[in-house]
Each structure stands twice: as structure tokens, then as C-alpha cells.
Amino acid sequence: MRIYFDHNATTPVDPAVVDRMRAVLSEDFGNASSVHHFGQRAKGVLDDARSAVAALIGGEPSEVVFTSGGTEADNFALRGAAEALEPTGRRHLIATGIEHEAVLNTLKALSRRGWTTTLLPVDRSGIVSVDALTDALTDNTAVVSVMHANNEIGTVQPIAALAEAAHARGAVFHTDAVQSVAKIPVDTRRLGVDLLSLSAHKFYGPKGAGALWIKRGTRVSAILTGGKHERNRRAGTENEPAIAGYGVAAQLATIKLATESPRLAALRDRLEETILLRVNGTAINGVRDPRVPNTTNISFEGIEAESLLIALDLEGIAVSTGSACSSGTLEPSHVLRAMGLPAHRTQNSIRISLGSGNTDAEIDYFLERLPQVVGKLRTVTGMRR
Ligand SMILES: Cc1ncc(COP(=O)(O)O)c(C=O)c1O
């Protein structure tokens, strides 16, 4: 038995997505920039996918720029907006301490090029306060970037209020919605943001496809220069098969969200409640609400997260110690650290992220095996069960 509880790292590709990608690979091989029949068919494929992605986030197709994934979308948002706003003299960027590395390391790169950066704190539950942003904003602030849902703990930030505060000081607002899209309703207009990143492989699409949604009128410079693709905003021949699959994944997500979200929340809540009841020395990290429905992050006192991950893997259960990028490094999670959790708790936490294939039977199996696995590990470390 193999159980996959690591959907925030990536998701299995939906069979309907695979079918569409296979068809495009073999039949619609044209270059969307070509004028002839083959090119126009390829352009049609891109148009359909663009409309589907736009519909998923409440945007206009013309506002969607395809990228190679969430990392490029975040880079494009921050570097592109920073460059476009340079002539205004604004040289200050704001993000939070719990952003994904795609944002944090881009900010570091920009700070080496003379930009001032501020990382906002989060509270113990992993939430950024509007007051903290208001205090950090200056007339010099060009861009504010706050992720919608956190990849490690799943908490959802008050984006609409944060965007309003940023706009009041004339700053552009970006949100990394890679972990919220297809898990909770994401509506660009309701959120009131200017830029929004998303990535196909987090919702049953292929890896290597993503998008930056750019609200009409927002100034963003291209970071990939070359041909006139994507209305001059992102050069390079589009990854047609992946984008076609992305479109199907977006359509499926739009249809399934209303039923899948409560189903996953029920599984997750049962999982959490039972663990807290059956295994002592456990605690949930981050606020329980608002949170994406598929994610939980749990500390197990007296146990190294890596040992628990390996022991569960031997039982056929795949979980994570945090973001996929930092797992395998034994680095304590920057997210849990930013929340002010004590060192031991940042090192004994695992993330369980559920998805479409997970069933009640899988949760039962996990809940049956977990207390024994934890008990064994604690016997090794000398801690009472
Ligand atoms: C919040 C967040 N932003 C950005 C990314 C990067 O997306 P991609 O893997 O498509 O580059 C991830 C992926 O883990 C993520 O969780």
C-alpha cells in the first residue's frame, strides 16, 4: 500500500490532463506565432487554456501570462514590477518572513542591487497583521508581496485588507497564490490584488507550467526578453502541451472546488482530531481557520521530523517535513521559526497535505499505524509515549 499525503509538494497529473497533453503533443505541434493553419491551431490551444485559467481566478484571459511555473511567476512579479517602477524613484519592497523561497530569494537578489527590503513578522498562528504592513509602508514602497496560503501550514492571509493598505500608499500588491488556487475560491477582483502567481502542478496539472495574472494597467517589465510572445510580456515559444494540460486542470478545478474542498476538510479535521486524541505530545502549528482545507502541520514532541518521515515512508505513507525545497536538509523550517515556535518544535513537525485521491480508508490506515510508529521512535529517544 502506498499513500500519498504530500500534495502541497506536487499532485499526480489528472488522467484527463494527460490525454489532452498527449493529443496536443502529437496533433497540435504548430508554433502559436505562425500564421499558417498549424500555427493557428496551436494558438487556439493557448487561447482555450488561457480562458480556463482566467476563469479559475476571476480574471480576463488577456491578463494571464503563461510562465514556466510558480517560481518564474514570482520572479516575474517582483523583478518585473520593481524594474517598471524604477523611474518613479520608489526603491522599497515588502514581503513576509513566511514566503516561499521563490519570493524570499528574489527579494535578496534585488536587495543586492540596491533595493531596500522589509520582511513583515507573523504572529504565533502564522498570520500577518494589517497594522504591521501599515507601519512598514512608506512613500518609497514600490511592491508588497504576501502569499495567499502558506505551503507549510496552510494558513490564509487577509489579502484584501493588506492589498487595500498597500494601495493607500501607492504600492503595487502581489500575492503568491500557488497554494490557494483550486483549494479555496480565489477571485482576483475580490482579493483586490494587482499581480497573482499560480502553478499547474499544484492542482493536477503538469510541472513546468504556471502563470502570472497581471491586472490590466499594472506596469510590469518583461524579465524574459526576445520575441513578441504573450503580448510582449514573456518571450519564448510557449510550452504548448503543458499549457493545454494546465487549461484542463483549471477547468477541472473550477468544477470540483465546491465538492472537493469540504471533502478534504472533513478528512483533514478527522485526521487532526484523532492524532491529538491518540498521540500525546502533539500540537497543530498555525491557526486552524482560515486555512486551506487539505493541509495540516503537526509537532510530535521528542521526535526528529526526518526520522518520522522515513519511518512513515517505510510504512508506505509519504508526508513532508515542510517545503519540498528544504526537506532533506535538516534546516528548521523558516516558516515555523518566523512564527516564534521554540527550536525543538520547528524540528519535530511534519506536514500532511491531502488531495483528490485520498480516501477515508487511507486516513484510517494512517491513524492506525501512526501511534505505533511514534511510540517506537520515542522509545529510541527515551521519551514516554
Ligand atoms: C507558495 C509557493 N510558491 C511558489 C512555488 C513554486 O512553484 P513551482 O514549483 O511551480 O516553481 C511553490 C512550490 O512549492 C509554492 O508552494
pLDDT tens, residue by residue, 271-296: 999 999 999 999 999 988 999 999 99
Q: Does residue 226 surpass a pLDDT of 50?
A: yes
% of the chain beyond a pLDDT of 70? 97
Q: Does residue 326 surpass a pLDDT of 50?
A: no
Least confident of 122-136, 177-191, 254-268, 332-346: 332-346
Average pLDDT over residues 325-336: 72
Half-sphere CA count of 129, side-chain side, radius 13 A: 8
What digits encode the pLDDT tens for the residues 47-84? Answer: 999 999 999 999 999 999 999 999 999 999 999 999 99
Q: What is the pLDDT of residue 381?
A: 76
> What residue's CA is closest to ligand 1, atom 8?
70
With the most atoms of ligand 1 within 8 angstroms of its CB, the residue from 8, 100, 156 to mutate is 100
Q: Does residue 205 surpass a pLDDT of 80?
A: yes
Q: What is the pLDDT of residue 324?
A: 46
| N-term to C-term CA, the chain | 26
Task: Name which of 192, 294, 212 is nearest 253 in CA terms.
Answer: 294
> What residue's CA is closest to ligand 1, atom 4?
70
Confidence of residue 344 (pLDDT cuts 50, 70, 90): confident
Please report the atom of ligand 1 found closest to the CA of residue 324: 14
Q: Answer for the pair 177, 186: CB distance below 8 angstroms, yes or no.
A: yes
In 10 A of CB 41, how many CB atoms? 17
pTM metric for this prediction: 0.97
The pLDDT mean for the chain works out to 96
Average pLDDT over residues 353-367: 98
Half-sphere CA count of 341, side-chain side, radius 13 A: 25
Half-sphere CA count of 207, side-chain side, radius 13 A: 5
Q: What is the pLDDT of residue 332?
A: 85
Q: For residue 37, what are the contacts with CB-CB under 8 A and spacing of at least 6?
A: 30
Least confident of 257-266, 304-313, 318-327: 318-327
Quote the DSSP letter at residue 199. Answer: E
Q: At what angle do helices 305-314 and 360-381 cross, to 10 degrees?
A: 130
Please report the atom of ligand 1 found closest to the CA of residue 207: 10
Q: What is the pLDDT of residue 356?
A: 97
Residue with cell 508581496: 145
As annotated, the active-site residues are: 325
- How far apart, in whole angstroms, are the C-alpha atoms of residue 385 and residue 372? 10
Q: Does residue 137 surpass a pLDDT of 80?
A: yes
Please report the atom of ligand 1 found closest to the CA of residue 201: 10
- How far apart, in whole angstroms, are the C-alpha atoms of residue 46 and residue 274? 46
Q: Measuring from each residue's beta carbon to the nearest atom of ligand 1, which residues come in under 6 Å? A: 69-71, 74, 100, 102, 147, 151, 176, 178-179, 199, 201, 210, 324
> What residue's CA is closest to ligand 1, atom 14?
9
The three-class DSSP label of residue 151 is coil
In 10 A of CB 108, how many CB atoms? 12
